[in-house]
Amino acid sequence: MVIISLLANLKREIKCLGFVLNEKIGLLNYFIRNKDQQANALSCFEDLEDKEKCTYLRSLILTSDMFPTSSCQTLPGNTQIKPTAIGKCIVIKKYNNTDMA
């Protein structure tokens, strides 16, 4: 019974954040397959702004089995481009410890 409530809350958040259809489907599939992550995701939302929630949720579907590792392209400056569920790309900048100083 609790899982249904958690999933309903996640569905409401995903809808309010304005994801496109394929992203919504990817996220719902992720949370249905990973029921143990539903409560974790909702607890993270308390500390995040909407833009940060979107980034967090997209990272879940990017790191899931939805995309093979070979679909990621690495560019100079330790930046990666990863495709989303809808065929668009997200640019991810990876920082070294020296970049954070």
Q: What is the pLDDT of residues 35-79, one digit of tens each?
A: 888 988 888 888 889 999 999 899 888 866 554 444 455 555 555
Specify the amino acid at residue 31.
F
Question: Given a cut of 50, is residue 23 above it in pLDDT?
Answer: yes
The mean of the pLDDT values for the chain is 74
Q: In the prediction, which pLDDT does 70 show?
A: 44
DSSP assigned state of 67? S
From first CA to last CA, the distance across the chain in angstroms is 47
Task: State the pTM of this model.
Answer: 0.58
Closest CA to 14 of 69, 87, 85, 89: 85
Tokens of 88: 């668009």
Contacts of 9 (CB under 8 A, 6+ apart): 42
